[in-house]
Structures are given as structure tokens and as C-alpha cells.
Amino acid sequence: MNVFGSSQYSETNKFISNLEQSIKSFSSKLDKLQNLLEENHKSVQIQEEQIEAIQFTCVQIAEHMTRGEISLQSIKESIEGQAIMSSAILDMQCVLGVNNKYMIKEMSIVDTETWATQHWIFKHSKSMEDNKSRKTNKWLERNYHQLPIEYGDIEYEELGKILNSLKFTRIYIKGEQKKQVLMEYIPHVALINIEDLGCPRLDQICDDETLPCCIFHMKYNPKQCKFYKVFAIRKWFVNNS
């Protein structure tokens, strides 16, 4: 019996068996690696698809934002265009201060495009008078507007703040003297004497009994009210422009 041959055969079989097990193990690991690669490939595909979807969404958002910016710009330009064209009619009643200085006693303003309006009666509790201005103001009170110089709903010192809060770019005023009074406070606004456009005297256009007046003048002569007169001027302006 060949002992060495038998031993060698046994060793060879063992080696082959180990080799087969190693091959199976490597084959199993290779299969797992292949599966992992396939899963990674699918994951990469999914990520790429997700990235493409995100990019598409970003493009859509950018397009919406662009359209929104265009819309906002159009709205802004429209508002600015309206502001550029905004105009009003203003009328005032003045009293006399020291050194023949004209001071506004009553003032009304109305938008030329709408019926939006405001009205103020100023009290001159801090305004100075000399003998001439005192006599003049008393005469105006008795014979014209019936407004005592100390009567009003707002202090005269607020006039500048009020005029500068108005958002009109063009204001029509009746009379050059009144225009000069306003120019002292709002030189940046286009002030137009409506008489230059052919507006007649107030007694010729204050003939509408349906126009409003302020509460104060309701018990006196409504046609002496600046609230009434500013609507009378507006009526002429609308009918002749």
C-alpha cells in the first residue's frame, strides 16, 4: 500500500475542497457586491431624477418670480403714473397779520378726479395783530366769512405740516395772491392760477344750491364757505377741461 500516495491524494482533495469553498465565498461576496452596485446605481438614478425634478421646480419658481416682478413693476409704474397726474383744486380765505402778511383762516381742497376732499378752519390764538390788521379782520368777520380770528379746529402753526402732507403734484388755485401764499409752503408743487385757464369770478360760478358747505357756514351764507366754493370751482373745471 502506498502510504505517501494516499496521503498526497487526501491533501489534494482537501485543498480542492477548500478552494471550492473559497470560490463559493468569493462568488457570494461578488454577488453581494454586484447587488450593492446595482442598488447604488438605482439610488444614483433616483437621485439624478430627484435633482432633475428639483431643477425643474427651481426653473418654474424662477419663472413665477420673474412674472411676479414684472407684475409688481407694472403696478408700481401704474401707481407712479397716477401720482404724476394727480391734481387738486384748493381755495382759501385769508386774514391779515402784522406787516400786511396774509394768513390762511379757512382752507378746502378737492381732488379733480374724485370727490375726495378736506377742509380746515385755523385758529390764530398765537398770531400777532396790529391796529390795521385787527380792524381789517373784524370787518371781514362781520361782512364776509363770520369767522372770529381765534375760532377754529386746528392751530395755524400746523399749516405747513398739512400742506406738505398733500400728495398732489399739481394744485389749481384761484387768484395770484393766494398762489403766492401757498408757494411759501409748497414750492415743489406745480401751482396754477385757474384764472389763467379762463375761470370766471366766483360770483358767476357759485350758483348751484346743491353743493355742500361746512357745518359752521350752514347757519350763515353757505356761498361764503370755502368748502362750497372749492366744489363750485371743481364743477367749472370738470365742465371746461
Render pLDDT for 214-236 as a digit per residue (tens, 0 to 9): 888 888 878 888 999 999 999 99
CA-to-CA dists, residue 185 to 93, 125, 164, 188, 189, angstroms: 16, 20, 7, 9, 9
C-alpha cell at 49: 431624477
pLDDT at residue 52 greater than cutoff 60: yes
Query: φ and ψ at 121, to 5 degrees?
Result: -120, 120
Which string of b and e fits 26-61 if b means at least 16 CB within 10 Å?
A: eeeeeeeeeeeeeeeeeeeeeeeeeeeeeeeeeeee
The dihedral sign for the CA sequence 145, 147, 149, 154: negative
Task: Quote the CA–CA distance of 183 and 132 in Å, as a whole number.
Answer: 25
Q: Supply the mean pLDDT for the chain.
A: 82
pLDDT at 62: 73
State if pTM tops 0.75: no
